Chain A
Amino acid sequence: MSSRILLVEDEPGLVLTLTDLLRAEGYAVDTAMDGEAGLTKAAARKFDLVILDVMLPKKTGFNVCRE
């Protein structure tokens, strides 16, 4: 089973390219477009790695990380 990564990023272009990149590397990628959605998803299931943007709408990456 491949490792799961949660990508929290608000720029759609980056979400698209990074997802493709990570999937090509063999990871299972889940995405969230803002801080709150990221928190919800991270709470719902376990991820091996969370990639957080700092400048996020609704909640900054630092705040998400702290919670």
Chain B
Amino acid sequence: MRLDKITRRSWLSWTCVTILVILCTVLALLQYRWIGEIADAEHGRLREDLQSRLRLLRRNFNDQISTACISFVPSRTQMENSGRDQAYLAQYRHAPESGHQVVRRIALAVPKNGDLILLFPDSDNRQFLPARWPAEWREMKERLAARLKGQPVEAEHPRPASLVEFPRFGIAKGARPRQERAQEQEWLILELNLDYLRSTLLPAMLSRYLGDTGKADYDAEAVDKRNPSISVYRSDDGHPIAGHADASVTLLEVGPMPFRPSPKENAGAEPPPDGGHGGWLLVVNHRAGSLEAIVAQARRRNMALAVGLLLLILAMVGALIHFSSSAQQLAELQMNFVSGVSHELRTPLTVIRTAAFNLRAKFAGQPHQVERYAALMQRESEKLGALVEQILRYGSARAGRVIGKREPIAINNLIEDSLESSRMALSGAGFVVERHLQPDLPLVLADQEAMKHVFRNLIDNALTHGTKANSWIGVFAASASNGSGSAVEIRVVDRGPGIPREEYDLIFDSFFRGRRAVEQQVHGTGLGLSLAKKIIEAHGGSIRVKSDPREGTEFIVTIPAAPPELQNELAHSPS
């Protein structure tokens, strides 16, 4: 029934453990999923945030350039009052400082005889003088020519990044108002100061919109949109942004766009990154590589934390199982001890009681019978006495009093005494004792009774566990040396079945009994060797075992010798 209970309990605890492990696994899976979802949401949020910052940057950047450009365009009234050239020149001269920073020079493109003539202001800005079209303005010329013919221009003739043209509309001579579409009479061409834009304005914008506490978290790069291999700006110690970008916007969308609706930025619909007509493309990437990398890093950190916590829980469960199972083992051993000891106590008592009964009832009246009974009763009483002593010793050892007063003793006398008290049991079982005790052994400082208990126990063990087929016990004492000085080594040897290797460490544990002893119902408490070890260690000595299934078992006890001055003193004393 007890076994049933234990089995049921262990089954129950294993079920609990299994459920715990399953719960942990489920938790881990849920955590994995949720961390993933959080990471994805975080990624989306970061990307959205970055994109909206870039949109603000774009608007502000473009606005500043547009404002600057527009300051160069004279009003219609000025145009009518002072004439075309002078109106442009006056406007140019009086343009604000910020305008001159953005715009490097101006020019007029005027259609004449089906051609476009380019006019630059002279050095004093007093009048326009015709000039040749610069080579890098060729595209602008083609673009304007196309517009002059009324062709759509945006697709085939993109504007060079550095140039902005402002048309002036007028009604062609001879055409009736409202019938003809207003025609472009001439164009004011503004050449932007790209150096200023990329070295001053763009970095200022970037640090304003992307800078976080003064230090930008992002690598930014602006490239020529028509030829992305041309990099016009790269943030300080920024790495080239190859292929991948967290967000991008177009820049330099300046000037009137007569044939296109302006992008509705406020409507929330984001223009495709490269959809604008601007000349530059600004791409931005997080310093850590990319937003994905940032999010993945945070995700990994969360993951590691979660895994760590789960492992901690599992480790705690493991520790709990370990401790509870060892507690259970100890409880089992103690239970075995109690039943074993009660059997050990009862058997000699029963023998003594039956013997006394037989003697009284004259069932054993012959003298030889009486003698046998007396011997039997003596032997059983001694057994009982030894058992009681062992338990009492164990009790006081548990209470911390392993040994009592130590005095110098000759170990050989002690061994002889121990053999003497086991003599009856030994001869009764027909054992031969081979002893070899070195005569001039040094004295040891020992509690005589405790030490005697140790040797009686070792001899008893040899007797109990030795085989009847080979009834031999060897007791040897010799001088030895341990680490710190001279010592005495005592060996108690039997030719029994030996101790299995896996029990070497266990036999010195309290309550432990070997598997064979339990199976074969060999009497014992499981306390003897643990007590012996405690007593010997209290003397500063050691006990170890050597065993071989073919040869038997050997217990080797080493006890340090008494200090030399004590040896001399005793050697010269009269006793």
Please determine whether B376 and A17 come into contact, CB atoms closer than 8 angstroms: yes
- B373 partner residues in chain A, CB cutoff 8 A: 17
A58 to B521, CA, bound (A): 8
- Contact indicator per residue, chain B 362-386, by CB within 8 Å of chain A (1) or not (0): 0110000100110010011000000
Stretch at the interface among B105-113, B344-352, B500-508: B344-352
Quick one: closest A residue to B520, CB to CB?
A57
Q: How far is the CA of A49 from the CA of B122 in the complex (A)?
A: 144
CB pair A16 B372 closer than 8 Å: yes
Cα separation A18 to B364 with both chains bound (whole Å): 11
Judging by beta carbons under 8 Å apart, are B358 and A57 in contact?
A: no
Instruction: Report the minimum CB–CB distance from B506 to chain A (whole Å).
Output: 22
Give bound CA distance, A11 to B354, whole Å.
Answer: 13
Contact B355 A17 (CB under 8 A): yes
A29 at the B interface (CB under 8 A): no
A65 within 8 A of B: no
In the complex the two chains form, is B520's CB within 8 Å of A13's CB? no
Give A23 to B369 CA distance when docked, in angstroms.
Answer: 14
Q: Is B84 an interface residue (CB 8 A)?
A: no
Q: Does A31 make an interface contact (CB < 8 A)? A: no
Contact B521 A13 (CB under 8 A): no
Digit string of A1-25 for contact with B (CB within 8 Å is 1, else 0)?
Answer: 0000000001101101110110110
Residues of chain A with a CB closer than 8 A to B357's CB: 17, 21
Interface residue B469 (Cβ < 8 Å from any Cβ of A): no
Q: Are A58 and B361 CB-contacts (below 8 A) given A11-B347, A18-B354, A21-B354? A: no
Closest CB-CB distance, B170 to chain A, in whole Å?
125
For residue B520, which residues in chain A have a CB less than 8 angstroms away from its CB?
A: 57-58
When distances are taken between beta carbons in the complex, the residues of chain A under 8 Å from B380 are: 13
Contact of A56 among B348, B350, B355, B521 (CB under 8 A): B521
Chain B facing A: main interface SS: helix
Query: Does any Cβ of A come within 8 Å of B29's Cβ?
Result: no
B314 to chain A, nearest CB (A): 42
A51 on the interface (CB 8 Å rule)?
A: no
Q: Is the CB of A17 within 8 A of B521?
A: no
A55 at interface (Cβ–Cβ under 8 A)?
A: yes
A20 to B356, CA, bound (A): 12
On chain A, the residues within 8 Å of B379 by CB distance are 13
Closest B residue to A25 by CB, please name it.
B363
Q: A residues within 8 A CB of B181?
A: none
Closest to B376 in A: A13
The reply to whether B358 and A20 contact each other, CB–CB distance below 8 Å, is yes
A57's contact among B363, B376, B521, by CB below 8 Å, is which?
A: B521
Q: A55–B343 contact, CB under 8 A? A: yes
Give, as a whole number of angstroms, the nearest-CB distance from A2 to chain B.
16
Candidates B343, B363, B521; contact of A20 at CB < 8 Å: B363
Q: With both chains docked as a complex, state the minimum distance between the C-beta of A18 and any C-beta of chain B, in angstroms.
A: 6
Q: How many residues of B contact A (CB 8 A)?
A: 21
Contacts of B361 in A (CB 8 A): 24
Q: Contact at B522–A14, with CB atoms within 8 Å?
A: no
Q: Once the chains bind, are A24 and B363 in contact (CB under 8 Å)? A: yes
Q: How far is the CA of A16 from the CA of B358 in the complex (A)?
A: 10
Q: How far, in angstroms, from A16 to B369 measured CA to CA in the complex?
A: 10
A45 to B339, CA, bound (A): 35
Once the chains bind, are B358 and A17 in contact (CB under 8 Å)? yes
How close is A55's CB to chain B, nearest CB, in angstroms? 5
What's the Cα separation between A10 and B347 when bound, in Å?
11
Cα–Cα distance between A11 and B345 once the two chains are bound (Å)? 13
Closest to A16 in B: B376
**Closest CB in chain B relative to A10 CB, distance in Å:** 7
Chain A residues whose CB sits within 8 angstroms of the CB of B358 once the complex forms: 17, 20-21, 24
Which residue of A is nearest B429, CB measured?
Answer: A12
Q: Is the CB of A14 within 8 A of B521?
A: no
Question: When the two chains form their complex, are residues A57 and B522 in contact, meaning their CB atoms are under 8 A apart?
Answer: yes
A56 CA to B523 CA, complexed, in Å: 10
Contact between chains at A11 and B351 (CB < 8 Å): yes
In chain A, what residue has the closest Cβ to B355? A17
Shortest C-beta distance, B515 to chain A (Å), equals 14
- Distance between A41 CB and nearest chain B CB, rounded to angstroms: 19
Which chain A residues in 20-55 approach chain B with CB under 8 Å?
20-21, 23-24, 55
Chain B residues closer than 8 Å to A57, beta-carbon distance? 520-522
Partner of B355, one of A10, A13, A24, A60: A13
Q: How far is the CB of B180 from chain A (nearest CB, A)?
A: 124
Cα(A37)–Cα(B549), bound, Å: 25
Q: Are A13 and B351 in contact (CB under 8 A)?
A: yes
Contacts of A14 in B (CB 8 A): 347, 350-351, 354
Q: Which residues of B contact A56 (CB under 8 A)?
A: 521
Query: In the complex, A60 Cα to B518 Cα: how many Å?
Result: 11
Residues of A within 8 A of B351 (CB): 11, 13-14, 17
Q: With the chains together, A55 CA to B380 CA distance in Å?
A: 18
The residue of chain A having its C-beta at the shortest distance from the C-beta of B347 within the complex is A11
A residues within 8 A CB of B347?
11, 14
Least Cβ–Cβ distance between A35 and chain B, in angstroms: 9
Q: Which residue of A lies closest to B364 (CB)?
A: A20
In the assembled complex, which residues on chain A have CB atoms less than 8 Å from the CB atom of B355?
Answer: 13, 16-17
The answer to whether residues A13 and B348 also contact, given A20-B369, A24-B358, A57-B520 and a CB cut-off of 8 A, is yes
State the Cβ distance, B360 to closest chain A Cβ, in Å.
11
Query: Which A residues are in CB contact (< 8 Å) with B364?
Result: 20
Chain B: minimal CB distance from A16 (Å): 6
Residues in B with CB closer than 8 Å to A11 are 347, 351
Subset of 5 A-B contacts with CB under 8 Å: A13-B355, A16-B372, A18-B354, A20-B364, A58-B520
| A13-B380, A20-B369 known, 8 other contacts, Cβ within 8 Å | A11-B347, A13-B351, A13-B355, A16-B376, A20-B363, A21-B357, A57-B520, A58-B520
Q: Contact residues of A with B, CB < 8 Å?
A: 10-11, 13-14, 16-18, 20-21, 23-24, 55-58, 60
